[in-house]
Chains A and B, each alone.
Chain A
Amino acid sequence: MRRLGLVPYLMTAPANTLVGLFILLPAACVLALSFMQSSYGLAVTFVGLENYTKLLHDRYFWRSALNTFIVVNAIVYLELLLALGLTGVMPPPGPLCRIIISIIILPYAVSEVVGVLIIKYMFDPGAGVIAYWLHALGLPELAWTTRPGDALVLVILLTVWLHMPFTFLIVYTARLGLPAELYEAARTDGAGAWQRFRHVTLPLLMPAILVAVAFRYIFAFRLFPEVWLLTQGGPARQTEVLAVYLYKCAFRYYDFGLASATAWAMVILSLLIAAPYFRSMHRRRFDSAR
């Protein structure tokens, strides 16, 4: 095609402007702020790494980091297990299959607020439906209003419910793309169902699984509404995750410096989580371009 001149630059301008103005610039501000002391009614002063040292000595930060670590890992791997299991039992493509998929992905449309409402209703100690069934089965009830561990279990349950459709769709569409001949071959070689899964399906699905897991790590890491609306991080700040810790630093204790240091800790952790995935994506792109 003939030369386009400035046109492509103009065409990418809206996307670049939005991301530059609302992500790049604020992120740079946050980086600068993380070296300052700043609160309402106080002059902004440069304090070097003081915010970061303060952060590392705050036991509530470590508590929220630990909670995030546990919750995120539980979410990502539970979702993956459920998605793989469901992929294995799906009927062959057809109308029935399409109906089942549209039902399974429904939670994807539910907002976190409605999700928390459902959890609060079903697990209401004493009156909730599930709480009642748990009691009827002789199981201990989840005292999520008083016991931090129980509250985090509900956060995990809710997040898995909301986001498993995403993992499932990625894994399932990848499974559809695997050639049937491979399975014929494996069967003639006498491979059982488990062996076929272990030595044919799993290795071939690995790229898709990595994509799903990377995406879900990054998004689960941001976890905020589920925790905020269920417990506000309580009791005694025991159920805070990093985003809740950050929110409280900034909008409740007005310590913008400390909040910014937390924010950058989150940015760096996010990028670290994503790094291996992006390296492989970049490599693939250049291999195919060659």
Chain B
Amino acid sequence: MRARSMRRRVIGCAKAVVIVLAVLWSTFPIFLVVSSSFKRTSDIFAVPLKIVFEPTVENYVGLWRDWSVFFTGLVNSLVITIGATLLTVVGSALAGWVFSRCSGRYFTGSAFALIILRLIPPIVITLPLFPIANVIGLNDTHILLIALYATFFVSLGAWIMKAFFNQVPRELEEAAANDGASLHQILLHITMPLAVPGMIAAAVFIFIFSWNDYLFAFIFTTSRAKTAPVILSEIMGSATGVDWGILFAAASIQLVPIVIFVIFLQKYLMAGLTAGSMKG
């Protein structure tokens, strides 16, 4: 009996150690970025690593002075992210309701086509899109990136919404229809409000994706619509030598809001993953 409780305690300790390692693995790199952004250049590469140091905001001041374009990039990122999120949520909710309520070959086919086409690697479609967008003047615009991000998430969004609409009883809609409500009224006042958690779940994914994307922004922007990640990569590859302090300041500004966003919306992230992947 005693050997057994001993054993259980050892296993418990081992599990705790693994958890601690996992927590360090996930947070240490993020901690490094944020803490280094408050270090003087001489402290950033000090060996061994300085955990305690005299904080300074000079990197942020330097970022503002030397790379003010980064802040334009942040505004672009925000505009594009919000635009893409709204477009995706509206498109997904409308299509998701149809996939949940209407049977028939066209809609089943359309639901599967959306998912299968989405498997095509994004870089593939940049090939013809780049010259075409150039000709019609869509290159380097917010609109193009909004449409591209929404395109690559509207199918996942529609499937997430379908799973959530499946939970909303049809009887509610039928009762309202019997009371003389139009489809428009039913959707707007009954069904959609009940599916708001689904919309948030769909929104979380597209929001993170468009805030962080590098590939599309790198290929389709040259100056006006450049997003924060692209400018960040330019600071990193700066020809005049990398100023690590400024780089960490920029990275922290790009990183911290989205990390906080994920912490607060974790519940929806998990719900969306379950709905999008399991309940097909």
Is B154 an interface residue, CB under 8 A from the partner? Answer: yes
In whole Å, how far is A64's beta carbon from the nearest beta carbon of chain B?
Answer: 13
Interface segment out of the listed B26-34, B52-60, B62-70: B26-34
Q: Do the beta carbons of A89 and B19 come within 8 Å of each other?
A: yes
Query: Which residues of B have CB within 8 Å of A129?
Result: 32, 47, 49
Give bound CA distance, A47 to B135, whole Å.
25
Give bound CA distance, A86 to B21, whole Å.
10
Q: Is the interface of A mostly helix, strand, loop or mixed?
A: helix
- Interface 1/0s, chain B 158-170, versus A by CB < 8 A? 1000000000001
- Interface 1/0s, chain B 205-244, versus A by CB < 8 A? 0001001111100110000000001101100110000001
Q: A18, A109, A225: which contacts B262 (Cβ < 8 A)? A: A109
Q: Do the beta carbons of A109 and B261 come within 8 Å of each other?
A: yes
- Interface 1/0s, chain B 124-158, versus A by CB < 8 A? 11111110000000000000000110111011001
Give bound CA distance, A222 to B147, whole Å.
20
Most buried by A among B15, B120, B155, B230: B120
Give bound CA distance, A15 to B107, whole Å.
12
Q: Do the beta carbons of A11 and B98 come within 8 Å of each other?
A: yes
In whole Å, how far is A146's beta carbon from the nearest beta carbon of chain B?
Answer: 18
Interface segment out of the listed A2-10, A69-77, A179-187: A2-10
Q: A33-B128, A117-B232 are in contact. Are A106 and B151 (CB under 8 A)?
A: no
- Interface 1/0s, chain B 16-60, versus A by CB < 8 A? 001100110111011011001000000001011100000000000
In whole Å, how far is A71's beta carbon from the nearest beta carbon of chain B?
Answer: 15
- Interface 1/0s, chain A 114-132, versus B by CB < 8 A? 1011101110100101001
Q: Do the beta carbons of B233 and A229 come within 8 Å of each other?
A: yes
Is B1 an interface residue, CB under 8 A from the partner? Answer: no
Residue of A nearest to B232 (CB): A113
Q: A23-B118, A211-B278, A278-B116 are in contact. Are A122 and B32 (CB under 8 A)?
A: yes
Is B82 an interface residue, CB under 8 A from the partner? Answer: no
Q: Do the beta carbons of A109 and B259 come within 8 Å of each other?
A: yes
Residue of B nearest to A104 (CB): B26
- Interface 1/0s, chain A 217-244, versus B by CB < 8 A? 0100110110001000000000000010
Q: B115, B120, B273: which contacts A267 (Cβ < 8 A)? A: B120
Is A149 an interface residue, CB under 8 A from the partner? Answer: no
Q: Do the beta carbons of B183 and A251 come within 8 Å of each other?
A: no
Is B78 an interface residue, CB under 8 A from the partner? Answer: no
In whole Å, how far is A76's beta carbon from the nearest beta carbon of chain B?
Answer: 15
Residue of A nearest to B261 (CB): A109
Is A26 an interface residue, CB under 8 A from the partner? Answer: yes
Interface segment out of the listed A50-58, A137-145, A195-203, A255-263: A255-263
Q: A27-B124, A108-B262 are in contact. Are A127 and B18 (CB under 8 A)?
A: no
Is A62 an interface residue, CB under 8 A from the partner? Answer: no
Number of B residues with CB within 8 Å of any CB on chain A: 98
Q: A27, A218, A256: which contacts B125 (Cβ < 8 A)? A: A27
Is A284 an interface residue, CB under 8 A from the partner? Answer: yes
Q: Do the beta carbons of A169 and B270 come within 8 Å of each other?
A: yes
Q: Do the beta carbons of B177 and A19 come within 8 Å of each other?
A: no
Query: Which residues of B have CB within 8 Å of A1?
Result: 101, 170, 173-174, 177
Most buried by A among B29, B97, B251, B263: B29
Q: Which residues of A contact B (CB under 8 A)?
A: 1-2, 4, 7-9, 11-12, 14-16, 18-19, 21-24, 26-27, 29-30, 33, 85-86, 89-91, 98, 100-114, 116-118, 120-122, 124, 127, 129, 132, 161, 165-166, 169-170, 173-174, 193, 208, 211-212, 215, 218, 221-222, 224-225, 229, 243, 246-247, 250-251, 256, 259-260, 263-264, 266-267, 270-271, 274, 278, 281-282, 284-285
Q: Which residues of B contact A (CB under 8 A)?
A: 11, 14-15, 18-19, 22-23, 25-27, 29-30, 32-33, 36, 45, 47-49, 87, 90-92, 94-95, 97-99, 101-102, 106-107, 110, 112-130, 147-148, 150-152, 154-155, 158, 170, 173-174, 177, 183, 208, 211-215, 218-219, 229-230, 232-233, 236-237, 244, 247-248, 251, 254-255, 258-259, 261-263, 266, 269-270, 273-274, 277-278, 280
A and B contact pairs by CB, cutoff 8 A, 19 listed: A8-B98, A15-B158, A16-B114, A18-B151, A29-B128, A30-B127, A86-B22, A89-B15, A108-B269, A109-B212, A111-B229, A122-B29, A129-B32, A211-B277, A225-B218, A229-B214, A229-B233, A260-B127, A267-B124
